[in-house]
Structure 1
Amino acid sequence: MPSVTRPAGSKRQDRREELERRLFAAIEELVGEGAGFTELSVERLAAAAGISRSTFYVHFEDKGDLVRRLATTVLTELRDVSSTWWETADHADPAGLTAAVTAIVEVYRRRAAAFTIITETAAYDPTVAAELRTLMQSIIDATRDAIERGQEAGVMRRVRPAETAAVLTWMVERAGYHLVRGTEPANDGNVIEVLTDIIRTTLYTAAP
C-alpha cells in the first residue's frame, strides 16, 4: 500500500499553529498572573512556551505579529459564538440572542488576559490596531446583515442597520472588557441580562 506523505508546507503550518497555541497559553498565563505584556521579553515568552528565542523568530516577526494572530483567534471565536443569534435574528427567537450573549460573555471571561494584551498593544502598535478594527468591522457587518434580515421579516424596528450594528457591537465589546474581564464571575448573569434586554428592546418590534 503506497504511503501518504503530507506536503512540507502543511507540516510547517501545523508546527506554526502548535507554536501559536503554546505561546498564546504562555502569554495569557503570564499576563493573568499580573505581568505586563509590554515589559515581557521575547526570551521570557519563548521560555514560558518551551521554545527557543530563535524558534520564535522563525515563525513570528515580533511580539506585535504574535498579538495580531492572537486577536484573529479571539475575535474569530467571538464571531463564531455570535452566529447563534445572527442565524436566527429574523425569527424573533429570544433563545438565540440569549445563547449568543451568554457565549460572548463566557469568551470574555475565559480569554480575559488575551483581551488585555490585544487592547493594550493596539494602543501603541498601529498594525495591531488596524487588525483589531478589521476584525471588529467583520462582526459589525454580520450584525448589520442580521438586522436587515430581521427588518425584511418584519420582526425588527426600522432602525439604521449600519449605525445600530456598530453601536451595539461596540457596546458589547466595552461591556465585556470592563464588566466581565477582571471582575467576579458572580456578576456575569446580570451583565448577560442587561445586554440581552438592551439588544432586544433596541431591535425588535415587540418583546417575543
Structure 2
Amino acid sequence: MSSPARARTDRRRTGPATRSDLLEATKRLLAGGAPVATLRVDQIVAEAGMGRATFYLHFKDKSELMAALAEDQVAWRDQIGAEVLADPELTRESVHLLMRTIVGQWAENWGVLAAIIEVAEYDTAMATIWKTAMGEVTEKAAEQFRLRWENQPGDSPDPDMIAELFTWMFERSCHQLLRDPSRADSVAAGMTDIIWRVLDYRA
C-alpha cells in the first residue's frame, strides 16, 4: 500500500495549477542556487511534489520549461508603465519610482533571470524569447521618448537607438550588479539619474 506522500507525488495532474507548480518549483531551485546547466527534471518534480510523468504532460523537456519560465519572468514588460515617461508633467520622483519597481523586481528574481540569460547564450529558442522580450521593452520606451521629444526645436535625438541602448544597458547592469541585492537602491538611483538626464534632453 502506497503512503499518502508517495500517492500524492505519483498522481498525474494536468490542470493549469500543475504547470504553474512546476514553474514555481524551478524558480525556487534556481533562486536557491541550483545551477541551471545541471538542474534535472527529477529535482524539479521532487520540489513540486509530483512525478516525472506529470512533468512530461506539460513540457517535452527542461528546455521547454525554461522557455515558459522566461515568458513568465518577462511578463512585467506589459505592465512596465513606460507611458509615464511621455507625461509633460513628469517628475524625477516618478522616474525614480518606476526604476525602483523594476530594479526591485529584478533583484527579487535575480537567480531565475540569471539562469534565463545563461541559457540564452547557447540555446537559440531561449535567445529568441529573451531578445524578443527586450525588443518589446525597447519599443515601449522608444514610443514614449518620441512623444516626449516630438515638439522640441532643432534636431531630435534618435529615440529608437536611445531606447535600445538603455534597455540593454539596464539588462546588463541589473544582471551584473544585482548579484548583490543590497545594491538595488543604488542601482535604481543611478538608473534614475541617467534616464532623467536623457528625458530632459534639449536640442
Question: Does the aligned pair in 2 maintain the 1:89–1:96 contact within 8 Å?
Answer: no
Runs of 5+ unmatched residues, structure 2: 1-13
Q: Which runs of 5+ in 1 are unaligned?
A: 1-13
Q: Equivalent residue of 1:205, what SS?
A: coil
Tell me if 1:15 matches 2:37: no
Kindly provide the CA deviation profile for residues 53-99 of structure 1, in whole angstroms up to 9, marking residues without a partner as x: 1111111121111111111111112441x21x423423233233111
Post-superposition offset of 1:145: 0.4
Aligned to 2:198: 202
Distance in 1 of aligned mates of 2:61 and 2:68: 11
Task: Show the 5 A alignment for 1:1-208.
Answer: 15-16=15-16, 18-80=17-79, 82-83=80-81, 85-91=82-88, 92-152=90-150, 154=152, 158-180=156-178, 182-185=179-182, 187-205=183-201
The Cα of 1:154 is off from its aligned counterpart by 4.1
Aligned residues: 187
Following the alignment from structure 2 to structure 1, what is the Cα–Cα distance between the partners of residues 20 and 84?
Answer: 29
Provide TM-score, normalisation by structure 2.
0.84
Change in CA separation of 1:20 and 1:94 when aligned onto 2, cut-off 3 Å: farther
- Distance of 1:88 and 1:142 partners within structure 2: 10
Deviations 1:121-174 (A, max 9, x none): 11221101111111110100001101011112549x821011000000111111
Paired AA for residue 205 in structure 1: Y
Which amino acid in structure 2 is aligned with residue 93 of structure 1? T
Q: Is the 8 A contact 2:99 2:191 kept in 1?
A: yes
> Normalized against structure 1, the TM-score is what?
0.82
Instruction: Provide the rounded CA distance (Å) in 2 between the counterparts of 1:175 and 1:15.
Output: 38
* Alignment root-mean-square deviation, CA: 2.0
- % identical equivalent positions: 26
Q: Which moved more, 1:35-44 or 1:128-137?
A: 35-44
